[in-house]
Amino acid sequence: MKQARPLTITNAQLMTPGGVTAGALRCVDGLIAALGADVAAEDGDEVINARGKLLAPGIIDLGVFAVDKPAFHFGGITRAALMPDQSPPLDLPSRVNFIAKSGKPDLWVHPLAAATRGLEGRELAEIALMQDAGARGIATGRRWIADSGVMLRLLQYAAMLDLVVVTHAEDGGLTGEAAATAGEIATRLGLPAAPAEAEALAIARDIALAELAGARLHIRQVTTARGFDLVREAKARGLPVTCGITPAHFMLSDLATADFRTFTRISPPLRAEADRQAALAAIGDGTVDVIASGHDPRGPEDKRLPFADAAPGMAGAETLLAMVLGLVRDEVIDTARAFDCLARNPARLLGVPAGALTVGLEADLALIDTDAPWIIDRRKMEATADNTPFDRQGAQGRVLGLWKGGVSLSA
């Protein structure tokens, strides 16, 4: 699907890397050709009046577990980095190649290759061949690699290939089958729980090994105060360590599990209120690099179970933008930082030519009414499943238009 003719979007608030400025944007042959206050449409252009709304780069959702186009388009997502936890797992070049082409023509899907065969944490997969097949990174999947020798070899291999390693930060020996974070709430509810320190232990080891290997490390979800401190310390020492978070972990604490509602059963589990506040601080001070949806739609067969038996996961693609815009309204971050976390930083980690309104990059664009109010209603969700912990919650921020490579998509 190629752009048939040039597109100019006028009267927009342009979300540039330097901040929001008024002007127009023109894209030609799928790329951003010009933007700014002095840009005007040319003869033959398709012209769209943004009517003063925000024109931003399309969201790049780093670390989804399912390709869910209607939900992604609703939420302004034009690219998604798919975790290797598929059936079968993405541990062979042929599987990676298939996934890399699966979103065309109206979505970019960037596969993250399985770090080990079968995601079992024992034997390295064919990483170089999977990179050639289209993998944009390597991921350990839903689990931590317990064997430090395997993890070091993985990081050394990744460093040679200049691929980012995306890790899950929970020491499996401590977490086991836990469904909650150890503390007052888990004790009152009688839920199997693991200490929050399981995250810090995993992060500390992985940072140490990444430093030894000279590798780029992205910790997909950091959710505890101590975990954020470890990332800050690594960054202060100049290490190429980045981290992400999902809205559930900065919006909700373990108090949300008090009614045993399995839509709040996620991985890592919800943390104490002090950790939630630490997450907001880490987003505000730049410790957090990526805010992702963690999109993991789960049907009734996985969620209509006792809390401890339910599968972890939430359908997050449709609510990601609104939750992040809430951080802007609450003055935790500004709009430029919001889209750094949603698009620019994920693009940099994955090495894709998108994620910012910059001349020469792919024209993946989202026109957004940042003030549009709506009620999150799981019964009306576009996702393949409705397991959102934000059901019936008020939100602001809707996508009015979406373009991939300058071609309009249904939003």
**Amino acid at residue number 350:** L
- CATH assignment of 7-54+364-409, among 3.30.70.60, 2.30.40.10, 2.10.109.10, 3.20.20.140: 2.30.40.10
pLDDT in tens, 10-63: 999 999 998 999 999 999 999 999 999 999 999 999 999 999 999 999 999 999
Tens of pLDDT, residue by residue over 59-103, are 999 999 999 999 999 999 999 999 999 999 999 999 999 999 999
pLDDT at residue 203, as a whole number = 98
Alpha carbons 95 and 98: distance in angstroms, whole number: 5
The pLDDT of residue 411 is: 45
Res 2 pLDDT > 90: no
**pLDDT score recorded for residue 336:** 97
187-216 tens-digit pLDDT: 999 999 999 999 999 999 999 999 999 999
* pLDDT given for residue 217 in this prediction: 98
**Residue found by looking up tokens 């995993």 in the block:** 202
Phi and psi dihedrals of 202, rounded to 5? Answer: -65, -45
Could you tell me the pTM of the whole model?
0.96
Report the pLDDT value the prediction gives residue 410, as an integer from 0 to 100: 61
Q: How many CA atoms lie within 13 A of 109 on its CB side?
A: 25
CATH 3.20.20.140 fits 59-350, yes or no: yes
- Domain extents for the chain? 7-54+364-409, 59-350
Mean pLDDT of 227-252: 98
> CA 218, CA 137: separation in Å to the nearest integer?
10
Report which of 116, 207, 113 is spatially closest to residue 154, judged by C-alpha positions.
116
Helix axes 225-236, 197-213, angle to 10 degrees: 20
Residue pair 320/312 in contact (Cβ under 8 Å)? The answer is no
| Pairing of β 394-404 and β 365-375 | antiparallel
Tell me how far the alpha carbon of residue 107 is from its chain's centroid. 15
- SS3 state of residue 216: coil
1 contacts: CB under 8 Å, gap ≥ 6: 104, 105, 106, 404, 405, 407
